[in-house]
C-alpha cells in the first residue's frame, strides 16, 4: 500500500475514506481534518480558551497534541478517580498526563476526587445506590460535575473531550435501540452553553478509534493502553464489537450512521420535548444547574458519602 500523496510506503490505510497515507502525510492530515471539523461545527474560535479533559488515553492526549500543534490556547484537566485496580490505573494515567504536559510546557490542572470529596470513586460508588454493579454511573456523574465546575470557575470558554467516532456511534446505537429521543436530540459534536453550563465539544467525533491510535503512536505519544478496569463487560463495549463487525463488512458504515444521524437531527427529526429540556435551577449547595428539587445529584452523592464516613 502506497501513500496517496507521495507514493512512499503507507503507514495507515483508511478503507472508509479510500485513503492510504505515509507517516508524514498522516500526521499532517489528522490536524487538518480536526481544524475542518472545529470550523464546520463552530466549536470554538482562535481567541477562545479551551480546557481539554485528559484521561491519559490515546484520544484525549492526541486531541491536546493536535490543538497545541494547531496553535489553540488549550490547557488540560486531569481528574484523579482513585482507581487502584488493574496496574494502578489512575496513578499511571496521571503520570502519563503530567509527562505529556511537561514535555510541551503545557498547563495541566489536576483535581483529585478523594482529596476534594473525601472518597475515591470506587468507595463513592459503594456508598451510593448507583454503586450496585459498576462504579461507572457515579464516575460519569462526578467527571461531568468536576469538568463543568473547573471550566466555569477558571473562566474557560469551552470544554473539549476526546470522544471519537467509535464512542459516539456506540452511544448513538444504544440510544437508537431504546429510541431515547431525549438523549438523541442532545447528542452531537457541540453541546451549547447554557446558564451554569459551559459549552462542550468533541473535536475527534469523526475520527475512527484506530485513526487516533495511529496518530498517538506515530507522534510518539505515551498513553495508557488499558481500558478502565471496570469497563470490562460493559454494554458500550458489546455495541462497539457489533459495530466493528458491521464496519468490517461495510467499510464506512459507522461514519455514515453518525453523519446521517447528524443530518436528521439538523433537519429537526428529533424535536426537543419537555423531557429533553427539563426546567433547571441552581443547586443550593454548588450552584450547578439541576432539574432536581433541592440538591443536584452530585451533591446528594457527596452528602450520602459524608453520612457514611
Give whichever of 4 and 49 is closer to Zn ion, judged by the CB atom: 4
Please identify which residue in 172, 185, 212, 296 interacts with Zn ion, judged by CB under 5 A: 296
Closer of 238 and 269 to ligand AMP (Cβ): 238
DSSP H helical segments within the chain, as ranges?
A: 23-40, 58-69, 85-104, 113-117, 121-127, 136-153, 165-177, 181-184, 209-218, 235-249, 253-266, 297-308
Q: Is 58 in the site for ligand AMP (CB under 6 A)?
A: no
By CB under 6 A, name the one of 81, 141, 201, 301 that touches ligand FES: 81
Cell numbers found for residue 91: 496513578
What are the backbone dihedrals phi and psi of residue 111, each rounded to the nearest 5 degrees, phi first? -120, 125
Residue appearing with cell numbers 510518539: 220
The distance of closest approach from Cβ of residue 233 to ligand AMP in the complex, given in angstroms and rounded to an integer, is 15
* Residue with Cβ nearer ligand AMP (10 or 212): 212
Three-class secondary structure assignment of 149-208: HHHHHCCCCEEECCCCHHHHHHHHHHHHHCCCHHHHCCCCCEECCECCECEEECCCCCCC
Please, what is the minimum distance in Å from the beta carbon of residue 13 to ligand AMP? Answer: 25
81 versus 101: smaller Cβ distance to ligand AMP: 81
Closest CA to 77 of 167, 160, 141, 137: 160
283 binds ligand AMP (CB under 6 A): no
Binding status of residue 159 toward ligand AMP by CB under 6 A: no
Q: Among residue numbers 16 through 55, which ones bind Zn ion (CB under 5 A)?
A: 22, 25
Look at residue 20 and give the partner it binds from Zn ion, ligand AMP, ligand FES, none, a contact being a CB closer than 5 to 8 Å depending on partner kind.
Answer: none
First to last CA, the chain: 60
Q: What are phi and psi of 289, to 5 degrees?
A: -65, 140
Q: From residue 68 to residue 107, what is the string marking binding to ligand AMP with x (rule CB under 6 A)?
A: ---------xxx-x--------------------------
Largest separation between any pair of C-alpha atoms in the chain: 65
**Residue written as cell 424535536?**
271
User: CB atoms < 10 A from the CB of 97, how many?
Assistant: 26
Q: Which is nearer to ligand AMP, 130 or 143 (CB)?
A: 143
Binding mask 20-59 for ligand FES (x = CB under 6 A): ----------------------------------------
Query: 116-145 mask for ligand FES (x: CB under 6 A)?
Result: -------------------xx--x------
Residues in the site for ligand AMP, rule: CB under 6 A?
53-55, 59-60, 77-79, 81, 143, 161-163, 167
Amino acid at each position: 500500500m502506497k501513500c496517496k500523496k507521495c507514493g512512499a510506503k503507507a503507514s495507515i490505510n483508511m478503507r472508509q475514506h479510500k485513503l492510504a497515507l505515509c507517516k508524514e502525510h498522516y500526521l499532517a492530515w489528522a490536524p487538518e481534518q480536526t481544524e475542518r471539523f472545529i470550523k464546520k461545527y463552530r466549536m470554538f474560535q482562535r481567541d477562545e480558551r479551551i480546557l481539554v479533559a485528559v484521561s491519559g488515553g490515546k484520544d484525549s492526549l492526541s486531541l491536546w497534541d493536535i490543538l497545541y500543534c494547531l496553535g489553540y490556547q488549550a490547557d488540560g484537566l486531569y481528574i484523579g478517580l482513585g482507581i487502584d485496580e488493574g496496574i494502578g490505573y489512575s496513578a499511571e494515567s496521571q503520570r502519563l498526563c503530567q509527562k505529556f504536559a511537561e514535555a510541551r510546557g503545557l498547563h495541566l490542572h489536576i483535581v483529585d476526587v478523594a482529596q476534594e470529596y473525601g472518597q475515591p470513586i470506587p468507595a463513592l460508588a459503594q456508598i451510593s445506590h448507583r454503586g450496585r454493579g459498576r462504579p461507572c454511573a457515579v464516575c460519569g456523574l462526578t467527571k461531568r460535575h468536576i469538568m463543568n465546575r473547573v471550566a466555569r470557575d477558571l473562566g474557560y470558554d469551552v470544554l473539549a473531550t476526546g470522544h471519537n467516532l467509535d464512542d459516539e456511534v456506540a452511544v448513538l446505537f444504544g440510544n437508537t435501540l431504546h429510541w431515547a429521543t431525549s438523549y438523541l436530540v442532545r447528542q452531537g459534536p457541540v453541546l451549547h452553553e447554557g446558564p451554569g453550563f459551559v459549552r462542550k465539544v468533541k473535536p475527534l467525533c469523526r475520527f475512527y478509534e484506530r485513526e487516533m491510535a495511529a496518530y498517538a503512536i506515530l507522534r510518539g505519544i505515551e498513553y495508557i493502553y488499558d481500558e478502565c478496569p471496570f469497563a470490562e463487560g460493559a454494554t458500550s463495549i458489546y455495541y462497539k464489537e457489533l459495530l466493528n463487525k458491521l464496519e468490517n463488512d461495510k467499510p464506512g458504515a459507522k461514519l455514515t450512521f453518525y453523519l446521517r444521524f447528524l443530518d436528521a437531527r439538523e433537519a429537526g427529526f428529533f424535536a426537543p420535548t419537555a423531557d429533553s429540556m427539563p426546567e433547571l435551577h441552581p443547586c443550593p449547595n454548588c450552584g450547578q444547574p439541576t432539574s432536581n428539587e433541592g440538591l443536584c445529584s452530585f451533591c446528594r452523592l457527596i452528602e450520602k458519602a459524608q453520612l457514611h464516613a
